[in-house]
Amino acid sequence: MTLEGHNITVAYDHRIAVADVTLSLKQGEITSIIGPNGAGKSTLLRTLNGQLPRSSGAVLLDGEPIERLNRRSISRRIAVVAQEAELRFPVTVVEFVLGGRFAWATHSGWGWETERDVDIAESVLRETELSDLSARLMNELSGGERQRALMARALATEAPILLLDEPTANLDLSHQATLLSLVRARCDQRRAAALVVTHDINLASEFADNILLMKQGRTVHSGKPEQVLTPEILHDVFEIRVLVDAHPVTGGPRITPVHEPISVNRDSRSV
């Protein structure tokens, strides 16, 4: 299972969102995309999923151009975790998670979940610590629990490629780690490949095998965390001074932003 993007360019009415980006997701590895707001990270992820059209370049899923594959065969291989679920209808957690089995149904519209579908849903609910909440309604959950349910649904697809867009945004410290450990486990045990878009550089440093640093639609650097996460590179991209030292436990790069006081006159700040 491979997902590759070659020279991807995406433009919206004359604005270039992604410019000539090439990347390849490797089995068993987590690749993290970091970069300032508006760098084109989410756009790139949506292009790799076949949702957004490219201006040029190619996306290959197992060597085949993605636009030639039908939705269900893509969805059996690529799962996306984003933050979109609109919950205006009362849906239980287990119903929500079973949605992940849609692409495996023999009929696209009708059809019922098989025993296997239910087993898979139960097992991912256990993995994401949601078993006790399975009969609850999604809109009764906290933001963090809901984010775990989104993750559970993605895992339920059993897709070997995971694309995650800010998966930890609503999570507290312990659940951030739990969630990325789940991704790590999929990569280690089932040879899955994951792409994680995140703003949390330290989390990327800890969990990612490769980091793709983007700015204004372009790849600025890519490589191992210790190659990419250097004070010089981060200063160039984020325009902020950072300290990089060794994480006391993992030994990987640890990033500390250094906030310099903004020089504005006192009167305007005192409001």
- Tell me how far apart the terminal alpha carbons of the chain are, to the nearest angstrom: 57
* Smallest separation (angstroms) from another protein to the CB of 51: 6
d(CA 113, CA 205): 39
Q: DSSP of 180-235, one letter per residue?
A: HHHHHHHHHHH--EEEEE-S-HHHHHHH-SEEEEEETTEEEEEE-HHHH--HHHHH
**Binder of another protein out of 65, 111, 143, 257 (CB under 8 A):** 111
Kindly tell me which of 102 and 207 has the beta carbon lying closer to another protein: 102
Sequence length of the chain is 271
Question: What is the crossing angle of helices 115-127 and 143-156, to 10°?
Answer: 140
Kindly tell me which of 89 and 262 has the beta carbon lying closer to another protein: 89
Size of the site for another protein (CB under 8 A): 42
* Smallest separation (angstroms) from another protein to the CB of 93: 9
Reduced to 3 states (helix: H, G, I; strand: E, B; else coil), residue 3 is strand
Q: Which among 3-11, 65-73, 194-202, 240-248 is the span making contact with another protein, rule CB under 8 A? A: 65-73
Restricting to residues 250-269, which ones interact with another protein according to CB under 8 A?
none
Kindly tell me which of 113 and 206 has the beta carbon lying closer to another protein: 113
Q: Edge-to-edge strand order for the sheet containing 30-34?
A: 78-81, 161-165, 193-197, 30-34, 210-215, 218-223
50: left (phi over 0), alpha (psi -120 to 50) or beta: left
| Contact between 116 and another protein per CB under 8 A | no
Q: Which among 64-72, 188-196, 231-239, 257-265 is the span making contact with another protein, rule CB under 8 A? A: 64-72
Kindly tell me which of 139 and 256 has the beta carbon lying closer to another protein: 139
| Contact between 91 and another protein per CB under 8 A | yes
β-pair type (64-65, 78-81): unpaired
Site string for another protein, 124-163 (x = CB under 8 A): ----------xx-----------------x---x------
d(CA 165, CA 31): 12
**Binder of another protein out of 88, 259, 266, 269 (CB under 8 A):** 88
Kindly tell me which of 111 and 143 has the beta carbon lying closer to another protein: 111
* Smallest separation (angstroms) from another protein to the CB of 66: 13
Q: Residue 63: what residue type? A: G
**DSSP β-bridge partners for residue 195:** 31, 163
- Which among 75, 69, 58 is positioned nearest to 24, based on CA atoms? 58
Q: CA 98, 146, 187, 19: dihedral to nearest 10 degrees? A: 110
| Contact between 118 and another protein per CB under 8 A | yes
* Smallest separation (angstroms) from another protein to the CB of 257: 31
- Residues engaged in binding another protein (CB under 8 A): 49, 51, 70-72, 74-76, 79-80, 82, 84-92, 94-96, 98-100, 102-103, 105, 107-113, 118, 122, 134-135, 153, 157
